[in-house]
Amino acid sequence: MTETTSTVTHWGPFLVDSDGATVTGVRGHPSDPDPSPIGQALTAVTELRVAQPSIRRSWLEGGPGTATGLRGREPFVVVDWDEALDIVAAELARVKGTHGNQAIYGGSYGWGSAGRFHQPSNQIYRFLRQYGGYTDARGTYSASAAENIVPHVLGMGYNTAVGQQTAWSVIAEHTELFVGFGSLRLSNAQVTFGGSGPHHTREWLHKCGHVRFVSIGPLADDEADFVDSRWLPIRPGTDVALMAALIHTLVIDGAADEAFLTSHCHGWGRLRDYLLGRSDGQAKNAAWAASITGVDATTIVELARQMASKRTMISVSLSIQRTDHGEQPYWMAVALAAALGQIGLPGGGIAFGFGANGNTGAGQVRKRIPGPSVPLQPAEMPVISVSRVTELLEGPGRTYHFNGMTGTFPDIKLVYWIGGNPFHHHQDLNRLGRAWQRPETIVVHEPFWNPMAKRADIVLPATTPLERNDLGGAETLLIAMQATLPPQGQARNDYDIFRGLAERLGFGERHSEGRTADEWIRHLYERFEQDNDYAPPFDRFWRDGVVAHADMAPMGHNPQVFLSEFRADPAANPLGTPSGLIELYSEVIAAFDYDDCPPHPTWLEPYERLGTDAAERHPLHLVSNQPRTRLHSQYDHATISRETKVAGREPARLHPADAAARDIADGDVIRIFNDRGACLAGAVLSDALMRGVVQLSTGAWYDPDETGMCKHGNPNVLTRDKGTSKLAQGPSAHTCLVQVERFDGEPPPVTAFDPPTFAERAPVAAPDP
């Protein structure tokens, strides 16, 4: 008998069919006009599972710190749940008692579930903070540079700004020219952190028939094929130089809105002096930018004049801030929009997150669903930028700088990680692998035998969202996420795991508040019901499976305009910056005195790029964008992802001319390499990317050979692990040069989807007579 339940994922709401043992079908939710194909990955939910608590053999036999270099290379031993929880609780108590709470690093990346209660980051942070704290991380790999610069420039958090973005309905009616620095990919726009609702971006793009789009980036097919778009290829990582030259042209032409720049901005005079070359002797004119960007000077001037003559929206994707000095593109883009004088006007101004988040342009802030209370961190606990994990592990005692803070890396003895896979999203994975050997113990909750689980000491089998109940916030909908399957093997949900540990560590009642997981879900819904008159009683909601938020319009319809109130009256509606204005010069950043983040937007040479000496040895720029058939590395083992592989490896696109110069044919196995590492991939020839670029999406499960070469095609063996600057310390993965060659001979087999080996427990020696 087929049973159908509903669920919410980060890539949308779905109906899931099952026979009680496996998923037999996945369909888009009736409310969703454009379901993401990634939903089909859920059919692989029962495959490659961690079935029982498992402990690395050397750690089990020798204790913490034993043979850490064997992580990922030796068998596991299966233990029962009681023993596993006893061991983890004892290890937490040992580390806390001997080294202090700061010696524990709590790692999570919230994409593990779109369910409100079972979100992994909430679960681990709640547990560890109740236990006294831990070394914490702030920010995201996706948007660290933007998250740290936007508050200095606009006086609001980046996510707050995204929630206030101009609505699609306004763009469709008023925008004449939509200039995108980075992509406007539909596949990216189908993903929303915390749960995606019905997808309407495709529909809105169809309604933008009169809008002229300009796509500035290395890939021609980042825009939907039905959009009226002009592709402007640019050397990756040089967007700031182009933006500066566009502003310079506006100033020279007398087209810059000096009145707006004076009344609504702080520091325009200093930035203007920089752009005109008065402060450093170099005018940031079109000829200067052409030599950096590869964009013809005439094209730059024409684009600036076109922007000044039309209602223009400047859109910046997340990709352009995941570069060396990644704070600068967002800051300079705001300056460009300010120079046009259209910030706060319908259809004009600055846009964040379009083509990167599914709910951008919704015209409203998504409704918050109550979650379990998470205590504040003790003030003395260290905080690092989320992408500085390797530096944290390899550098205890070293000083670090982070957005005005100065700290010292603690000596991490125990890493506790749930809901994430750093061996996917972190940079320079071989360096991370070496640093990963330093902690004495690594504990992981994980459903699948992915690269993270294989490199842990203690692996506790966790359920997936399809094996537990939850509340799913799908933007305009609240969906009852009803378990589709029973837990696989001996898997438990994260809450039950932490509840068992809390009981052993003496704070079980405080952690559970006397509730089971399902009782928590009912409790959280009843809190939601109290605040929303339209919400039915819990039992009816659970029976019906969905409730529509009566106070929310369909995605994109509410005619919201970003910063319209500020534009209308900046004195009455000041921004949260020190000046109350848009800060084109920041005294706060000036006081930090960072050598890699000046106090106004600036073109700064990255550590490597095309058109420089570094490109003589590694003449191709690596674009490691998001894949179309999975979210990050999730379900890479599923059919929908594996069907895209070439020769069993991640596909890598090259321009035909670059391939011909290297005697590479379509379908060849190729080796991509630089001084940081190497990987194999399957060649796909395409003229949809500019010459001098190779595109290898992220997310192939890391599968290194004995030399560290990834046999499967993970691009993060090639990227440099360097912070964007001392301000954000974000990842700079998109600043990466490589070389490519055809791999001759028999390529090594891909073992990424092989489970680890298991060993019998060593017999306990009999005591001496």
Residue-level pLDDT at 281: 97
Residue-level pLDDT at 361: 92
Residue-level pLDDT at 193: 86
Contacts 24+ apart (CB under 8 A), 94-98: 94/64, 95/413, 95/414, 95/440, 95/441, 96/131, 96/132, 98/413
pLDDT of residue 593 exceeding 90: yes
Residue-level pLDDT at 765: 62
Residue-level pLDDT at 366: 84
Residue-level pLDDT at 767: 60
Q: Encode 206-274 in three state secondary structure.
A: HHCCCCEEEEECCEHHHCCCCCCEEEECCCCCCHHHHHHHHHHHHHHHCCCCHHHHHHCEECHHHHHHH
pLDDT of residue 132 exceeding 80: yes
Q: Which two tokens stand for residue 449?
A: 């035998």
pLDDT of residue 556 exceeding 80: yes
Q: Which two tokens stand for residue 27?
A: 């369909």
In the 8-state DSSP scheme, what is residue 2? -
The three-class DSSP label of residue 147 is helix
User: How far is residue 336's CA from residue 248's CA, in Å, rounded to a whole number?
Assistant: 10
Condensed to tens digits (0 to 9), the pLDDT of residues 493-506 reads 999 999 999 999 99
User: How far is residue 578's CA from residue 582's CA, in Å, rounded to a whole number?
Assistant: 10
Element (H, E) at 751: none
Say which residue the tokens 């001084």 belong to.
675
Q: Encode 184-203 in three state secondary structure.
A: CCCCHHHCCCCCCCCCCHHH
| Mean pLDDT, rounded, for 64-70 | 98
Comparing C-alpha atoms, which of 737, 760, 5, 88 is closest to residue 445? 88
pLDDT of residue 623 exceeding 80: yes
Alpha helices in 553-647 (DSSP H): 564-568, 587-592, 614-617, 639-642
pLDDT of residue 256 exceeding 70: yes
* CB-based contacts of 211, cutoff 8 Å, min separation 6: 171, 172, 175, 176, 177, 178, 228
Condensed to tens digits (0 to 9), the pLDDT of residues 395-440 reads 999 999 999 999 999 999 999 999 989 999 999 999 999 999 999 9
| Mean pLDDT, rounded, for 746-754 | 97
Q: Encode 665-713 in three state secondary structure.
A: CCCCEEEEECCCCEEEEEEEECCCECCCEEEECCCCCCCECCCCCECCC
Strands 312-316 and 265-266, by their bridges, are unpaired
User: How far is residue 449's CA from residue 466's CA, in Å, rounded to a whole number?
Assistant: 17
Strands 383-385 and 399-402, by their bridges, are unpaired
| Mean pLDDT, rounded, for 578-604 | 98
In the 8-state DSSP scheme, what is residue 378? P
pLDDT of residue 769 exceeding 80: no
pLDDT of residue 159 exceeding 70: yes
Query: Phi first, then psi: what are they for 390, rounded to 5°?
Result: -60, -45
183 — pLDDT class (breaks 50, 70, 90):
confident
Element (H, E) at 350: strand 349-352
Q: Which two tokens stand for residue 24?
A: 């037999």
User: How far is residue 316's CA from residue 384's CA, in Å, rounded to a whole number?
Assistant: 26
Q: Catalytic: 288?
A: no
Residue-level pLDDT at 768: 66
User: How far is residue 180's CA from residue 177's CA, in Å, rounded to a whole number?
Assistant: 10
Question: pLDDT > 90: what percent of the chain?
Answer: 93
The three-class DSSP label of residue 449 is coil
| DSSP labels, 489-500 | TT-B-HHHHHHH
pLDDT of residue 259 exceeding 80: yes
Rg (CA), the chain: 26
Tell how far CA 408 is from the center of its chain: 26
What's the mean per-residue pLDDT of the chain? 96
Sign of CA dihedral 13, 15, 16, 20: positive
Condensed to tens digits (0 to 9), the pLDDT of residues 347-367 reads 999 999 998 888 899 999 888
Do 110 and 124 meet the contact criterion of CB atoms below 8 Å apart? no
| Mean pLDDT, rounded, for 53-78 | 98
Q: Catalytic: 534?
A: no
Tell me which of 59, 111, 125, 702 is the catalytic residue. 111
764 — pLDDT class (breaks 50, 70, 90):
low
Do 462 and 492 meet the contact criterion of CB atoms below 8 Å apart? yes
User: How far is residue 700's CA from residue 706's CA, in Å, rounded to a whole number?
Assistant: 18
Condensed to tens digits (0 to 9), the pLDDT of residues 302-334 reads 999 999 999 999 999 999 999 999 999 999 999
Exposed (0-12), middle (13-18) or buried (19+): which is 394, by Cβ within 10 Å? middle
User: How far is residue 430's CA from residue 209's CA, in Å, rounded to a whole number?
Assistant: 47
Distances (CA, A) of 320 to 413, 631, 704: 35, 19, 28
Tell me which of 11, 109, 416, 701 is the catalytic residue. 109
**What's the farthest any 2 CA atoms get from each other in the chain?**
97
Exposed (0-12), middle (13-18) or buried (19+): which is 65, by Cβ within 10 Å? middle
* CB-based contacts of 102, cutoff 8 Å, min separation 6: 133, 134, 135, 380, 381, 382, 410
Say which residue the tokens 């960072």 belong to.
594
| Cβ count near 256 (within 10 Å) | 24
Q: Is the pTM of this model over 0.85?
A: yes
| Mean pLDDT, rounded, for 48-71 | 98
* CB-based contacts of 764, cutoff 8 Å, min separation 6: none
Strands 693-696 and 651-654, by their bridges, are antiparallel
Comparing C-alpha atoms, which of 49, 91, 704, 47 is closest to residue 458? 91
